[in-house]
Copies of this chain bind each other. A is one copy, B any other.
Amino acid sequence: MKIALLGGTGPQGRGLALRWARAGVEVVVGSRSAERGQAIAQELNDRLAGQGTPILGMSNEEAVEQSERFVVLAVPYVGHEPTLEWLKSCMAGKILIDVVVPLAGDDPKKVVMPPEGSATEEAQALLGPEIPVVGALHNVSAWVLDKIESPIHCDILICGNNKAAKDEASALIEKLGVKVYNAGLAVSARAIEHMTAILIRLNISKTTPFKHAGLKIWAEAGVE
């Protein structure tokens, strides 16, 4: 199952590409230029050193064409709406996994939510009701993703209005070796995306002894 990763040349996208490829997923990294896509794929394949499935690199448009089911959107927020505008005519039969967080351009400790309420809801509104959007992977730091020899210890909250699409996306995301929780409808992205800014605040703060925090759902298993 070939997946397209748009913004796969950014830090979050690279880590996701590496981890999915290592898990045997065919990843096509998209970039604004085909050359840059190829160069990044080459670089990532060098890091994989033969482990997993080779990563392909091409233009964003070609990557989406290659995708058999999933298009993962991991561009900076400034590219969110422009990407979705051209994407909407190429998504028939596909599912969008939206990783984008609307961080404030001048302060990553803040979010500036679009009128729809969150990036995931904005994507769903722009793509229309026929194309399922699943918000996911907002709270994992790029640094954690990039440390491909270490497991990811934080949990993944996903949300979206299409249950079947969420189940499919869950299965793909679980290949990263993480626990995935269904956090409900797309409206939940208001909390989940915003949590990224809170985690960034904690990472930056001098009072915390860490820099790459994520979320974990804590619970006593089996309690009735």
A182 in complex: contacting residue of B192, B205, B211, B220, CB < 8 Å:
B205
Q: How far is the CB of A20 from chain B (nearest CB, A)?
A: 21
B-contacting 9-mer, from A80-88, A125-133, A193-201? A193-201
Closest to A150 in B: B220
Is A154 at the interface (CB under 8 A from chain B)? yes
Within 8 A of B (CB), among A182-212: 182-184, 187-188, 190-192, 194-195, 197-199, 201-203, 205, 207-212
B191–A198 touching, CB < 8 Å:
yes
- A202-B217, A210-B221 are known contacts. Are A190 and B194 too (CB-CB below 8 A)? yes
In the bound assembly, the distance between CA atoms of A199 and B219 in angstroms comes to: 10
B198–A184 touching, CB < 8 Å:
yes
B211–A224 touching, CB < 8 Å:
yes
In the bound assembly, the distance between CA atoms of A202 and B109 in angstroms comes to: 27
A223–B198 touching, CB < 8 Å:
no
In the bound assembly, the distance between CA atoms of A202 and B195 in angstroms comes to: 17
In the bound assembly, the distance between CA atoms of A199 and B155 in angstroms comes to: 13
Q: How far is the CB of A173 from chain B (nearest CB, A)?
A: 15
User: What residues on B are CB-neighbors of A218 within 8 Å?
Assistant: 153-154, 213-216
B223–A212 touching, CB < 8 Å:
yes
A198–B183 touching, CB < 8 Å:
yes
User: What residues on B are CB-neighbors of A181 within 8 Å?
Assistant: 202, 208
A194–B198 touching, CB < 8 Å:
no
B202–A210 touching, CB < 8 Å:
no
Is A157 at the interface (CB under 8 A from chain B)? yes
User: What residues on B are CB-neighbors of A211 within 8 Å?
Assistant: 219, 223-224
**Extra inter-chain contacts (15) besides given A153-B218, A195-B195, CB under 8 Å:** A183-B198, A184-B198, A190-B191, A191-B194, A191-B195, A191-B198, A199-B217, A202-B217, A208-B219, A209-B219, A209-B221, A210-B223, A211-B223, A214-B219, A215-B215
Closest 3 CB pairs of A and B: A210-B219, A191-B194, A213-B219
